Structure 1
Amino acid sequence: MSALNPFRTGSRRAAATLAILLTIGAGSGCRDDRVTTGREPNRSAGDSDRSQGVLDGHIDNDEPGCAASVGIQGDVVWTGVRGIANLTTGTPIGPQTVFDIASVSKQFTATAILLLAQEGKLALDNPLSDYVAGLPPWAATVTVGQLIHQTSGIPDYGELLAAAGYEDHDRTTQSQALQELAAVPRLEFTPGSRFEYSNSNYLLLGEIVQRASGTPLPHFLSEEIFQPLGLAMVMDPVGTIPNRAVSYEKGAAGYTVADSAWEQVGDGSVQTTPSELVRWADNYRTGQLGGPGLLDAQLDGAVETDEGSGERYGAGIGVLADGTLEHDGGWAGFVATFRVSKDRRTSLAIACNTADHDIDAIADALWQLWT
């Protein structure tokens, strides 16, 4: 698994759209753990059986679990599920169960920025201070591109809020996060001098999208990315989302609910299913949205994350040494991982409603089966 450590750290109309898209053919009254939604001609039923066996080997059926999907050239060729979406109701995880994908969301925020740059509504070389007011003088030394590539030196707002006494279950807003950043006297290093992952970068990119487009980030994503591609996704951290799993933490007394009341967007908070993620992944091959210019911009200027590792960070997406695209995420019990093969034909997405399972091992085993 990559050395990248992308921990995570909306709109009601968009949430309604997500509900409609996910309701079509959902069949929520029952579940078959072995769900095959399609199959490439050279794939056998054994691929699906072995893939389901990976989930079964890691997850008990009576505990919070995971859903996983594999896509080939935009077609969902396999989806598997295992575990419980809501322990109180006993609702099982199904193909239409929605998860918070945490930092896997960052690629969508970055894509929004790049689309606006294509339209001439912002420039990646412009300083942060051109778009976000109320920050200290250091905002004039950080560029939009440095935010994208995690080289800004801005501390993580989550750590700042935690230091101020806020916990995951406490309500905190976008404005509170910005206020914490406004109180930061200096950056942690010279912008552009090195890579250091900070969720603040993408929270601020979300603010830039709103300033440059005149549209709040969640609305922009729905109108300019999700709806044009027919994706059942919404950026909404605390809304009531149909079919959304409850997230859990496991302690000595068993599982407890871990849902967060934090309301920030930009660095996380997209709600969707693994099957929708692998459908999105095909845009890295086709450029259906944004064209070749977007595909180039997503990796242009990608910076090395660790010296000598060969791993780089592009526009909200990691690039492994072999050319595979990858991003992980985790927030308040939800964990997710996303991969796209070097040839951009094959993709994998996994989402879980507990961090108790070894999602890296699950992903590695499935990746070996399908690539």
Structure 2
Amino acid sequence: MRVVAVIIAWTLLTIGCKSKTQAQKDKTEDIHSNALSFDVEQMTEADKARYQKVLSDFFDSALIRRGFNGGILIAKGGNVLYESYHGFQDPNRKSDTINAQTQFHLASTSKPFTAVTVLKLVQAGKIGLQDPVTRYFPAFPYPAVTVEQLLSHRSGLPNYLSVMEDKTKWNPKQMISNDDVLRFLEQYKPVPMFKAGSRFAYCNTNFVLLALIVEHVTGKKFPQYVKETIFEPLQMNHSFVYTPADSGHVIMSYKPSGALWVNDQFDNTYGDKNVYSTPEDMFKWDRALYNPSFIRQSLLDSAYQPHSHEKPSIHNYGLGWRMLNLPNGKNVIYHNGKWHGFTPAFGRLLDEKAVIIILGNKMNSNMYNMARKAYDFFGDYMQNRVSGGEEETESRTAAATAMPESTVKPAPRPAKKTVKPAPAKPSRTSGKSTAKKQIKKAPEKKAAPAKKKVTATKKKTKK
């Protein structure tokens, strides 16, 4: 009888454990399902065809026929309006045609993934925006720097891409990890650019440290944690954070001449870069950011607020996101990138729930220009009337920089009526202007946009 009782108890316990495991699995699946759910805007087939036609004409003439090597996806309200892939993973050998499954390095377009990962931990009460970095790393030699200042590039920290090029302090033949960056700062204590919180300066050190904070808090390596909390729930099946184990399995990038862009000692750090993804996965990412089941809307609202006001400008930075705050009340939430020959463009138009995604592996700064001009297909985003002010020329130098100034000052709140066009300021982006048809009911632009002057970029740059 005693043996029978033990067997029964063991059976009940096993059933209970299975039930608990199943409940956890069901809860996880519910979370995944909720994160993927979103409303799709109703569009007529005629409207879709009209968008497809003008977008195809626009990109074919001004980008694709000019040596573009990559993928493009444009969508609105959950509807894919244009998707196209061109070129080869190795453009010199013309091998392995680029397709919807080709995974591109996102460069600094990776930063929003890091920011949202941190904000989800803020939501869970595991990280505080006002926490000093020393809470997580007591030996960190800049005690005034906070998590929020890392996210908004207001920390004043020196850029590791510059200070670790000192051959007397780091062997350039030795690859650098995130832990190496922290140890270097702790050991050598390089002079900060400015007092923490006093101004904006784009600095990749900030996001390397944020990835380390995520690892410290969760007890998991950053690539694995992002996989479990973002890529898997959103079914971004072709996205991952690069580690040395992926070497040899990812595509390389190329210079405009077609020459291979050789990797260097900085290619293993993540948080600031090293997410690989596809246009279709990035579309899933965009859609998830409209879903409060994935992340609380109030946190995203804080991420989309300008955090730097030292210089009047339509350009600003939030928490892991760049933005255009236009004088007619329109706003663009975006983050482009540049690492070696990878020059991704990712722009989100929240009013229309439209997204512009352009990824490639052959350096082509015209990708930024074309993405920016495509905003005007969905509303009056004034892209032929204001300075592009893009960040393609940001380098590894540690100089403190203010946000680019514009001739147009932002309105304190959205205007009810469209303002009169402001005088155009020469753009620093490359590429010739292209006339576009406006799909929305808006007056046609009569003046042709001014030709742009091509801006030279340094070899070692990243934004």
TM-score normalised per structure 1: 0.79
Distance 1:285 1:152 in 2: 29
Return closer, same or farther for 1:167/1:279 CA change in 2, 3 Å cut-off. Answer: farther
Return closer, same or farther for 1:84/1:217 CA change in 2, 3 Å cut-off. Answer: same
1:152 is the counterpart of 2:158: no
Q: Is this contact kept in 1: 2:51–2:81, CA < 8 A? A: no
- 2:146 — aligned with what? 143
SS in 2 for 1:320: strand
Distance 1:54 1:305 in 2: 35
Q: Is this contact kept in 1: 2:132–2:145, CA < 8 A? A: yes
SS in 2 for 1:76: strand
Where does 1:111-150 land on structure 2 (aligned, <5 Å)? 111-136=116-141, 138=142, 140-150=143-153
Q: CA deviation at 1:356?
A: 3.1
Return closer, same or farther for 1:205/1:324 CA change in 2, 3 Å cut-off. Answer: same
TM-score normalised per structure 2: 0.65
Distance 2:85 2:218 in 1: 38
Q: CA deviation at 1:168?
A: 9.2
- 2:55 — aligned with what? 51
Q: Is this contact kept in 1: 2:56–2:82, CA < 8 A? A: no
Distance 1:154 1:68 in 2: 35
Q: Deviations over 1:273-297 (max 9, x none)?
A: 1221122112332323113233233
2:101 to 87, 96, 103: 96
Distance 2:43 2:90 in 1: 33
Return closer, same or farther for 1:126/1:44 CA change in 2, 3 Å cut-off. Answer: closer
1:72 is the counterpart of 2:76: yes
Distance 1:306 1:239 in 2: 43
Q: Which amino acid aligns with 2:87?
A: G
Distance 1:311 1:91 in 2: 39
Q: CA deviation at 1:202?
A: 0.4
Q: CA deviation at 1:109?
A: 0.7
SS in 1 for 2:337: strand
Q: Which has the larger radius of gyration?
A: 2
Distance 1:292 1:265 in 2: 26
Return closer, same or farther for 1:305/1:242 CA change in 2, 3 Å cut-off. Answer: farther
Q: CA deviation at 1:58?
A: 4.2
Q: Which amino acid aligns with 1:131?
A: Y
Q: Is this contact kept in 1: 2:63–2:367, CA < 8 A? A: no
- 1:361 — aligned with what? 369
Distance 2:60 2:178 in 1: 39
- 2:185 — aligned with what? 181
Distance 1:93 1:241 in 2: 19
2:197 to 192, 198, 208: 192
Q: CA deviation at 1:257?
A: 3.8
Aligned-pair Cα RMSD in Å: 2.8
Structure showing the higher strand proportion among its residues: 1
Return closer, same or farther for 1:64/1:311 CA change in 2, 3 Å cut-off. Answer: closer
SS in 1 for 2:164: helix
Q: CA deviation at 1:241?
A: 8.0
Where does 1:22-37 land on structure 2 (aligned, <5 Å)? none
Return closer, same or farther for 1:60/1:312 CA change in 2, 3 Å cut-off. Answer: closer
1:250 to 234, 238, 256: 256
Q: Is this contact kept in 2: 1:56–1:82, CA < 8 A? A: no
Q: Which amino acid aligns with 1:174?
A: N
Where does the alignment leave 5 or more consecutive residues of structure 2 unmatched?
Answer: 1-40, 380-463
Q: Is this contact kept in 1: 2:152–2:318, CA < 8 A? A: yes
- 1:283 — aligned with what? 288
Distance 1:85 1:62 in 2: 17
SS in 2 for 1:141: coil
Return closer, same or farther for 1:340/1:66 CA change in 2, 3 Å cut-off. Answer: same
Distance 2:352 2:256 in 1: 36
Distance 2:101 2:292 in 1: 26
1:82 is the counterpart of 2:86: yes
Distance 2:340 2:77 in 1: 32
Q: Is this contact kept in 2: 1:65–1:357, CA < 8 A? A: no
Q: Is this contact kept in 1: 2:159–2:203, CA < 8 A? A: yes
Percent of aligned positions that are identical: 25
- 1:312 — aligned with what? 316
Distance 2:68 2:175 in 1: 24
Distance 1:169 1:346 in 2: 44
Q: Is this contact kept in 1: 2:234–2:288, CA < 8 A? A: no
Q: CA deviation at 1:171?
A: 2.9
Q: Which amino acid aligns with 1:159?
A: S
- 1:26 — aligned with what? none
SS in 2 for 1:79: strand
Return closer, same or farther for 1:162/1:58 CA change in 2, 3 Å cut-off. Answer: farther
Distance 1:309 1:48 in 2: 33
1:162 to 141, 162, 165: 165
Q: Which amino acid aligns with 2:155?
A: S
Distance 1:228 1:199 in 2: 27
1:207 is the counterpart of 2:217: no
Q: Which amino acid aligns with 2:101?
A: Q
Where does 1:292-371 land on structure 2 (aligned, <5 Å)? 292-299=297-304, 302-304=306-308, 307-321=311-325, 322-343=330-351, 345-371=353-379
1:222 is the counterpart of 2:221: no
Q: Is this contact kept in 2: 1:70–1:78, CA < 8 A? A: yes
Q: Determine which structure has greater relative contact order: mean sequence separation of CA pairs < 8 Å that are 6+ residues apart, divided by chain length.
A: 1
Q: Which amino acid aligns with 1:270?
A: V
Q: Is this contact kept in 2: 1:114–1:294, CA < 8 A? A: yes
Return closer, same or farther for 1:115/1:357 CA change in 2, 3 Å cut-off. Answer: closer
SS in 1 for 2:289: helix
Q: Is this contact kept in 2: 1:62–1:84, CA < 8 A? A: no
Q: Is this contact kept in 1: 2:129–2:147, CA < 8 A? A: yes
- 2:12 — aligned with what? none
Return closer, same or farther for 1:353/1:103 CA change in 2, 3 Å cut-off. Answer: same
Tell me which moved more, 152-161 or 240-249.
Answer: 240-249
1:270 to 275, 283, 293: 275
Q: CA deviation at 1:55?
A: 3.6
Q: Is this contact kept in 2: 1:98–1:243, CA < 8 A? A: no
